[in-house]
Amino acid sequence: MTLNRQDAAHVAEVLSEALPYIRRFVGQTLVIKYGGHAMESEELKNGFARDIVLMKAVGINPVVVHGGGPQIGELLKRLNIESRFVDGMRVTDSQTMDVVEMVLGGLVNKSIVNLINSHGGSAIGLTGKDARLIRARKLKVTRQTPEMTKPEIIDIGQVGEVASINKDLLHMMVQGDFIPVIAPIGVGADGESYNINADLVAGKVAEALNAEKLLLLTDIAGLMDKQGNVLTGLNTEQVDALIEDGTIYGGMLPKIGCALDAVQAGVRSAHIIDGRVPNAVLLEIFTDSGVGTLITNS
């Protein structure tokens, strides 16, 4: 590629405006949760991969954790396997677990790795089984209604929560200039597989790496109130009230839960951003106002 004089002037202008932001984040780790819905068009996928490669090129360390709920749902449907969710978590029997592992660890993980690498990056795909990156245990889900005297335990199968993250492995990769791309499959004490909500994995990875930012890309403009207005900045107490009154439900519950846990554990900020917007990651990093909902620990 050769730049003409006009192109060069444009590049110089954009770079000089971006410089203060780049300086702010150089050497920092940013964990990005790439959701299934934000992978729906070629334009979005290519924009995402280019953003990640650019970040790495200017000295910021991106670590990608991906979802793939819609892709899992599609294959389950083709195989005539019914699927349902409890509080945003897919009920996972052993047959469903096989499909989850195939889709997330195989198809989705490798296509993201391939995409990043085709844009000039050096991505390495991992599941939680590689070097026991994500040790997991069974997630306990309980439910209590006002009529019940004690909470009921609900068995949702091989759904896990993160017990620990092998951060040495991630540090090694980041220092080696690789971009880790992580599928949210955990390994139990006896080598069993766990299906973990990708938001929860992203939050724990951000905590383990003491990340500067946790970016959760999703299919909506941000966290909304009952009238549909995006709430731009929220703290712990405000979030609790919104869960209590039912404004936050379904897939937003694990998302907001992991964002709160992450900022309470020392991650500087968590952001729920619209993955349907092209170049959402760069927009978040390189603008003062950011996009979507910012969650801080205050």
Ligand X SMILES: CC(=O)N[C@@H](CCC(=O)OP(=O)(O)O)C(=O)O
Q: Which of 223, 258, 262, 282 binds ligand ADP (CB under 6 A)?
A: 223
Count of residues making up the chain: 298
Residue 128 binds ligand X, judged by CB under 6 A: no
Distance from C-alpha of 146 to C-alpha of 136, rounded to nearest angstrom: 32
Residue 198 binds ligand X, judged by CB under 6 A: yes
Q: Min. distance of Cβ 36 from ligand X in angstroms?
A: 3
Residue 72 binds ligand X, judged by CB under 6 A: yes
Q: Which of 47, 67, 222, 292 binds ligand X (CB under 6 A)?
A: 67
Contacts of 168 (CB under 8 A, 6+ apart): none
Half-sphere exposure of 211 (CA within 13 A, CB side): 30
* Alpha-carbon torsion (281, 285, 288, 290), positive or negative: positive
Residue 258 binds ligand ADP, judged by CB under 6 A: no
Query: Which residues in the 110-169 window bind ligand ADP by CB under 6 A?
Result: none
176 is in an annotated binding site: no
Q: Residue 5's beta-bridge partner residues?
A: none
Task: Find which of ligand X, ligand ADP, none residue 76 binds, CB within 5 to 8 Å per kind.
Answer: none
Task: Find which of ligand X, ligand ADP, none residue 220 binds, CB within 5 to 8 Å per kind.
Answer: ligand ADP
Task: Find which of ligand X, ligand ADP, none residue 89 binds, CB within 5 to 8 Å per kind.
Answer: ligand X
Task: Find which of ligand X, ligand ADP, none residue 250 binds, CB within 5 to 8 Å per kind.
Answer: ligand ADP
Residue 251 binds ligand ADP, judged by CB under 6 A: yes
Residue 64 binds ligand X, judged by CB under 6 A: no
User: Is 164 within 8 Å of 188 (Cβ atoms)?
Assistant: no
Relative to beta strand 233-234, strand 193-195 is unpaired
Which one, 58 or 107, has the nearer CB to ligand ADP? 107
Q: Min. distance of Cβ 2 from ligand ADP in angstroms?
A: 40
Burial code (b: 16+ CB inside 10 Å, e: under 16) for 238-270 equals ebeebeeeebbeebbbbbbbbbbbbbeeebebb
Distance from C-alpha of 236 to C-alpha of 27, rounded to nearest angstrom: 28
Helix axes 109-118, 42-57, angle to 10 degrees: 60
Which one, 10 or 85, has the nearer CB to ligand ADP? 85
297 is in an annotated binding site: no
User: Is 213 within 8 Å of 30 (Cβ atoms)?
Assistant: yes
Distance from C-alpha of 43 to C-alpha of 36, rounded to nearest angstrom: 14
Which residues bind to ligand X, rule: CB under 6 A?
35-36, 67-69, 72, 89-90, 100, 159, 184, 195-198
Which residues bind to ligand ADP, rule: CB under 6 A?
35-37, 67, 69, 88, 199, 218-220, 223-224, 247-252, 255
Binding residues for substrate: 68-69, 90, 195
